[in-house]
């Protein structure tokens, strides 16, 4: 338990602080005070983490609930509707008695009845522990669910027990109002592509913003404008304070004039708080609300507070409210952006100037925008793996448009919904129309060459150097010193991906769920074998795992893409890969290449085709010309021979193809093998296993997949094969996440490395002990 680690640390720090505070110099007292505060922060975060882990309701990490469960609870989120599927958060009643998590995330495919926010339901479900892909450069889905308090994920079963109960209308009024606003926007805008953006700007409901729209926002560097932030909350508060001012202009004064400021402060605070709750109370909204309330309190008390102190107060308050807010990218971007603005506008940030007018305002805006872009460069690189080159110019237009046109119109429409629905509908349509024209400019900027450039993952020292250089560049120092800071940015231009030496092979079997994708790297070349599955709803494992991995590794060009066969779990992500990186050539199994790669140079893989990269030989050993195979048995089987060892990639071949390979002696011993067909019992015959004599066997399979891959009998056959009897073990992506293995030209194959083991966080479930056999990790 983290709490038991934090308590001793807290006691030691407090005791030390007390000892230093009795008789010591002020510097020692300050150090002791800082230690005490740091220990208190660790203790608080540890305690909250302990509460979060206990709230998941899982007795042991990774334990699921195999049987159908009948649960009762309330829908506590706005349901997301995508491609025949509803997804929503569900708060359970009597979760402790049932030994279940308090809140779960459910998917309901083809629901027979509509599901609305704040409704009470009885549902028959299947649940499992939260588990996402685990790959270098990938998104931490388990961390997001932990931060949101989601203890399990699952789906609703089609059953007569699924019943909607009558719920009190007064329950969860804010959620009901948010959902009603989203439905109203959907009714008014219909099938408009921008209705998701309008709903996101109105109440923070961004679930209808599509992947292509997020790509445009990221490429143009305006993602921060989509979040409910200081702009929205400030506009609402100023509107409330303005209404107070108008009230004093009426013939009938509501109170003496001396009370006008106090009344404006109260109304502004109430308006800001109400809108922050309506917007979902995200981290940027929390930061803005706390800063605004602190400023209003200072105004109430007639005491000015330095903005940096207000920002520090907001930072402390957000972390006290939710220590795990620091896991979100929005936390860092929100606070760093405001800190950059305050630094730029302070005397330390450069000459302020005393001239006024439109020209001075424009120069100040450009200076602040440029400084913020430079200061946020290290954070953007660390969080998103790349930098938008067009962001400064796009923001010069986007910030005024969003601040002065789009957001005020949407907020005004919200205010008119209950008073003048027709006027509100007209404003929403005008907002969508203006956004449609502005969107064309954004798409044009996003499609410019080099609009957003990805870089290999930088190390901590390089990030620290970049941060120091960015700070020096925006500080009014002598130009010679600022010019020297530019040289610290030069390593960014020469960052190269990790490469094995000539003759070496770096193999990574990616965690793509129930599917396959293997990345092979030689000294100067890169190959991708299969692209993982596509999912219902339009996205694929390539979007979520393969492409982020390639960008994290700094791969912008694939010398060859091999699609072993056209089953969805092997070829579903081809389109995403082809759109993300340059592919020079495609090899495919079957009669035709994947549709997404039809425009590329493509060739069917056949036995005997071979090539050599960097002293490493690649050869297809299956299928042989003229043989008729079904889709699985016709998979491309690729053998990789390096000076230090060999690899065999087998696709989905089954017993028939394996027998044909062994009959014609096409299989020779290999150091590493990716087990055929995810460890299905229809593959991995004894003759095939004995011919391969693998030292390491890797299974790519989904966590708790419905087929039970890898089959226990297959596991036992591999474990009892000759090479594996020497003490080596099988590994599976379901338990390990991405599995990486390096074949050294002199030392041979090194032990596999598991991403899930090496990068485990306390909110991650323990690696699945798929250990029906002791050799399967």
Give the helix/strand (H/E) hosting 741.
Answer: strand 739-744
Phi, psi of 245 (to 5 degrees): -60, -40
Tokens standing for residue 422:
């027709």
Report the distance separating Cα 495 and Cα 462, nearest Å: 10
> CA triplet 77, 763, 174: central angle to 5 degrees?
20
DSSP class per residue in 382-421: HHHSEEESSHHHHHHHHHHHIIIIIHHHHHHHHHHTTT-H
Q: Which of 645, 635, 647, 609 has its CA nearest to residue 748?
A: 645
Cβ neighbours, 10 Å, residue 25: 9
- Which pLDDT belongs to residue 494? 64
DSSP class per residue in 13-27: HHHHHHHHHHSS-HH
- pLDDT tens column, 37-68: 777 788 888 888 888 887 775 444 445 676 78
Q: Which of 574, 679, 590, 588 has its CA nearest to residue 633?
A: 590
Report the distance separating Cα 676 and Cα 698, nearest Å: 9
Q: How far is CA 323 from the centre of its chain?
A: 19
User: Which contacts (CB < 8 Å, 24+ apart) does range 600-609 have?
Assistant: 600/561, 605/562, 605/636, 605/638, 607/666
- Which pLDDT belongs to residue 301? 73
Phi, psi of 730 (to 5 degrees): -80, 155
Tokens standing for residue 434:
């203006």
Contact (Cβ atoms closer than 8 angstroms) between residue 553 and residue 137: yes
Q: Which of 155, 212, 188, 174 has its CA nearest to residue 78?
A: 174
Report the distance separating Cα 100 and Cα 54, nearest Å: 10
Tokens standing for residue 721:
């094969």
DSSP class per residue in 284-344: HHHHHHHHHHHHHHHHHTT----HHHHHHHHHHHHHHH-GGGGGSHHHHHHHHHHHHHHHH
- Which pLDDT belongs to residue 13? 55
- Which pLDDT belongs to residue 62? 46
- Which pLDDT belongs to residue 555? 92
Tokens standing for residue 612:
């050599």
How many helical (H) and strand (E) elements, i.e. helices and strands, does the chain have?
29, 27
Contact (Cβ atoms closer than 8 angstroms) between residue 530 and residue 540: no
- pLDDT tens column, 272-304: 888 888 888 777 777 778 777 877 777 777 776
Report the distance separating Cα 167 and Cα 386, nearest Å: 47
β-strands 610-613, 616-622 pairing: antiparallel
Sort 626 into a burial class: Cβ within 10 Å, 0-12 / 13-18 / 19+: exposed
Tokens standing for residue 53:
């882990």
Q: Which of 551, 460, 140 has its CA nearest to residue 328?
A: 140
Cβ neighbours, 10 Å, residue 345: 16
The residue to which tokens 């599927």 are assigned: 85
- Which pLDDT belongs to residue 727? 38
Tokens standing for residue 144:
């997001």
Tokens standing for residue 626:
């003229």
Contact (Cβ atoms closer than 8 angstroms) between residue 208 and residue 181: no
Q: Enumerate residue ranges in the chain where pLDDT < 70.
A: 1-31, 57-64, 66, 167-169, 227-231, 248-259, 304, 346-361, 488-496, 722-728, 767-777
With b for 16 or more beta-carbon neighbours within 10 A and e for fewer, the 491-526 pattern comes to ebeeeebebbeebbbbbbbbbbbbbbbbbbbbbebb
Report the distance separating Cα 310 and Cα 293, nearest Å: 9
Report the distance separating Cα 11 and Cα 382, nearest Å: 35
- Which pLDDT belongs to residue 64? 60
What value does the mean pLDDT of the chain take? 83
Q: How far is CA 711 from CA 316, 385, 481, 714, 738, in A?
A: 51, 38, 64, 5, 20
Report the distance separating Cα 409 and Cα 235, nearest Å: 11
Report the distance separating Cα 406 and Cα 42, nearest Å: 42
Report the distance separating Cα 676 and Cα 635, nearest Å: 10
- The separation between the first and the last C-alpha atoms of the chain, rounded to the nearest angstrom, is 25
């Amino acid at each position: 338990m983290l709490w038991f680690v934090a308590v001793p640390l807290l006691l030691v720090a407090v005791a030390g602080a007390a000892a230093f505070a009795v008789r010591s110099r002020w510097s020692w007292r300050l150090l002791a005070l800082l230690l005490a505060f740091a220990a208190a922060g660790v203790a608080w975060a540890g305690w909250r983490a302990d509460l979060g882990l206990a709230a998941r309701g899982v007795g042991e990490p990774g334990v699921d609930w195999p049987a159908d469960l009948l649960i009762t609870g309330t829908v506590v989120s706005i349901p997301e509707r995508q491609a025949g599927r509803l997804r929503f958060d569900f708060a359970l009643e009597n979760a402790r008695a049932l030994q279940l998590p308090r809140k779960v995330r459910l998917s309901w495919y083809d629901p027979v009845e509509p599901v609305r926010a704040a409704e009470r339901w009885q549902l028959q479900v299947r649940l499992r522990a939260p588990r996402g892909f685990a790959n270098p450069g990938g998104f931490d889905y388990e961390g997001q669910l932990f931060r949101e308090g989601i203890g399990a994920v699952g789906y609703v079963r089609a059953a007569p027990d699924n019943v909607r109960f009558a719920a009190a209308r007064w329950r969860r009024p804010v959620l009901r109002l948010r959902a009603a606003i989203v439905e109203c926007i959907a009714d008014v805008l219909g099938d408009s592509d921008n209705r998701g953006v309008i709903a996101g700007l109105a109440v923070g409901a961004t679930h209808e913003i599509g992947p292509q729209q997020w790509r445009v926002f990221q490429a143009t560097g305006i993602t921060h404008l989509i979040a409910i932030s200081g702009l929205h909350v400030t506009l609402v508060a100023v509107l409330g304070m303005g209404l107070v001012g108008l009230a004093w202009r009426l013939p009938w004064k509501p109170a003496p004039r001396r009370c006008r400021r106090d009344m404006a402060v109260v109304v502004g605070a109430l308006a800001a708080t109400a809108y922050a709750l309506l917007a979902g109370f995200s981290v940027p909204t929390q930061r803005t609300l706390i800063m605004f309330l602190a400023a209003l309190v200072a105004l109430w008390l007639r005491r000015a507070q330095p903005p940096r102190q207000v920002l520090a107060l907001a930072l402390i308050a957000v972390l006290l409210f939710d220590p795990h807010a620091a896991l979100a990218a929005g936390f860092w971007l929100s606070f760093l952006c405001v800190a950059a603005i305050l630094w730029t506008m302070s005397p330390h940030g450069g000459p302020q100037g005393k001239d006024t007018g439109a020209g001075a305002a424009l120069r100040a805006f450009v200076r602040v925008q440029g400084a913020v872009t430079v200061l946020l460069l290290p954070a953007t690189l660390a969080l998103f793996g790349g930098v938008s080159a067009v962001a400064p110019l796009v923001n010069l237009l986007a910030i005024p448009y969003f601040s002065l046109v789009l957001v005020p119109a949407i907020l005004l429409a919200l205010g008119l919904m209950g008073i003048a629905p027709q006027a509100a509908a007209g404003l929403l349509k005008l907002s969508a129309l203006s956004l449609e024209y502005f969107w064309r400019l954004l798409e044009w900027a996003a499609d410019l060459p080099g609009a957003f450039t990805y870089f290999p993952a930088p190390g901590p020292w390089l990030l620290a150097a970049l941060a120091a250089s960015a700070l020096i560049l925006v500080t009014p120092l002598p130009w010679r010193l600022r010019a020297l800071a530019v040289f610290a940015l030069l390593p960014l231009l020469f960052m190269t991906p990790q490469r094995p030496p000539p003759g070496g092979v770096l193999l990574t079997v990616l965690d793509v769920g129930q599917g396959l994708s293997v990345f092979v790297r030689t000294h100067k070349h890169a190959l991708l074998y299969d692209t993982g599955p596509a999912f219902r709803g339009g996205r694929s494992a390539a979007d979520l795992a393969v492409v982020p991995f390639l960008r994290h590794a700094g791969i912008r060009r694939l010398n060859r893409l091999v699609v072993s066969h056209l089953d969805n779990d092997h070829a579903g992500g081809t389109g995403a890969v082809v759109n993300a990186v340059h592919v020079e050539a495609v090899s495919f199994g079957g009669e035709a290449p994947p549709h997404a790669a039809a425009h590329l140079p493509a060739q069917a893989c056949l036995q005997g085709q071979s090539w050599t990269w960097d002293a490493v030989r690649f050869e297809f050993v299956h299928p042989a010309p003229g043989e008729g195979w079904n889709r699985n048995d016709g998979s491309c089987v690729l053998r990789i021979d390096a000076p230090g060892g060999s690899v065999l990639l087998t696709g989905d071949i089954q017993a028939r193809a394996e027998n044909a390979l062994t009959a014609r002696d096409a299989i020779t011993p290999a150091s590493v093998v990716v087990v055929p067909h995810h460890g299905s019992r229809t593959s991995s015959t004894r003759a095939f296993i004995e011919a391969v004599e693998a030292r390491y066997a890797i299974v790519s399979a989904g966590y708790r997949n419905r087929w039970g891959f890898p089959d226990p009998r297959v596991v036992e056959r591999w474990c009892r094969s000759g090479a594996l009897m020497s003490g080596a073990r099988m590994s599976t992506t379901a338990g390990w996440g991405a599995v990486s293995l390096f074949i050294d030209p002199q030392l041979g194959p090194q032990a596999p490395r598991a991403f899930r083991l090496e990068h485990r966080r306390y909110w991650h479930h323990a690696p699945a002990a798929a250990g029906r056999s002791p050799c399967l990790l």
